[in-house]
Amino acid sequence: MRRMIATLTGATAAALIAPALVAAVPANAQAKPADPVSALKSQFKAHHGVKLTENTKLIGDGKNQRVILSRRNGVLEFGKSGVAASDLSSTFNLPGVDKELKKLFGPPSRMITVKGASYISGGFYADSMPEGKKWVRLPGGASVALGNPVEQMLNPLEPATLKAALAHTTTKRPGGTWDGTRTVVHAGTITLGELYKVSPSVRAILGAAPSAKSATLPVTWQLYLGPDQLVRRAVSSYTQSMRGLTSMDITYLNDSRYSGWGVKSAIKAPAADQVADFDELNIGDEQSEDPFVKVFKG
């Protein structure tokens, strides 16, 4: 009997001690942070998203340096497989250009992309809208604003793009504090051809596969990752020759900041009675030259 009591007592003590030992392990020590791609995919929940603040520069590296500066900010809303909708406001700054071009690109614009359709108000189309309409539906559901060459070339919210970029990491270092959290910056280079293969947004921007020469164009990048492995800042740049059209090369520099991961969002299309189709716009055909080429040619 004493032996049975001792056995039961020992078993009871072990049952009490084991949970105590498990509970004593800090919660954050039980699971390591996910890798960046897995961390990104974990954010793909309907009606949740992330805030974007973006600055982009086009710099003409020549005798008379010219700069186009674009700013965008707003919300990117996720679905089950990535960004499903967006509501972004944009402004252009074209220092040192004539009044005609400033009038063309000076007004701020707002673009809403939802359910495969994109709508834009203001900006390039501000003076072309039919009476009583505030928005134009872009042809083909294009998510890239027509006449806007300052798009983000490396999109870290695309899992395949993020994975491909990080596979080319050459350096890591402390990246400072962004969105209230300490970051580590990963840096490297990837070619335009490689991005075209993995990135839906690059394919949308380019419209067709880059030439053999353009495919080798190096795109340098920096990704600032928090301890949760989510991107807080993405910087990318590349230089493209415009010789033949101008006497200079043009450098594209994009700096995107991501904050408020998991923010609730419910983006909707503009009211139907406020939307015009593209072929309803009052656009003249007197502009025979690409206005951005005109900027850099002076």
| 139-161 tens-digit pLDDT | 765 544 433 445 688 999 999 99
Check residues 290 and 284 and name the one with the higher pLDDT.
Answer: 284
| pLDDT single digits (tens) 165-185 | 999 999 999 999 999 999 999
Residue 7, pLDDT > 70, answer no
Q: Tell me what the pLDDT averaged over the chain comes to.
A: 80
CB 138 within 8 A of CB 120: yes
CA separation for the pair 268, 114 (Å, rounded)? 7
Cα separation values, 9 from 12, 14, 23, Å: 5, 9, 22
pTM above 0.85, yes or no: no
pLDDT at 126: 76
> Which range in 66-75, 179-188, 238-247 is most confidently predicted, on average pLDDT?
179-188
Domain map (residue ranges) of the chain: 36-297
- Separation of alpha carbons 89 and 62, rounded Å: 31
DSSP 60-82: EESSS-EEEEEEEEEEEEE-SSS
Give me the residue label for tokens 């806007």: 148
pLDDT score of 116 more than 90: no
CB 238 within 8 A of CB 153: yes
Tell me the two tokens of residue 30.
Answer: 């039980």
User: Is the model's pLDDT at 213 over the cut of 60?
Assistant: yes
* Maximal C-alpha separation, the chain: 106
CA torsion, points 193, 199, 201, 207, in degrees to nearest 10?
40
CB 241 within 8 A of CB 22: no
- Name which residue leads in pLDDT, 243 or 275: 275
pLDDT of res. 125: 76
292 pLDDT exceeds 50? no
Segment 241-260 mean pLDDT: 77
Say if residue 84's pLDDT is above 80.
yes
Mean pLDDT is highest, among 7-11, 105-109, 267-271, for: 267-271
Highest mean pLDDT among 54-63, 166-175, 212-221, 240-249: 166-175
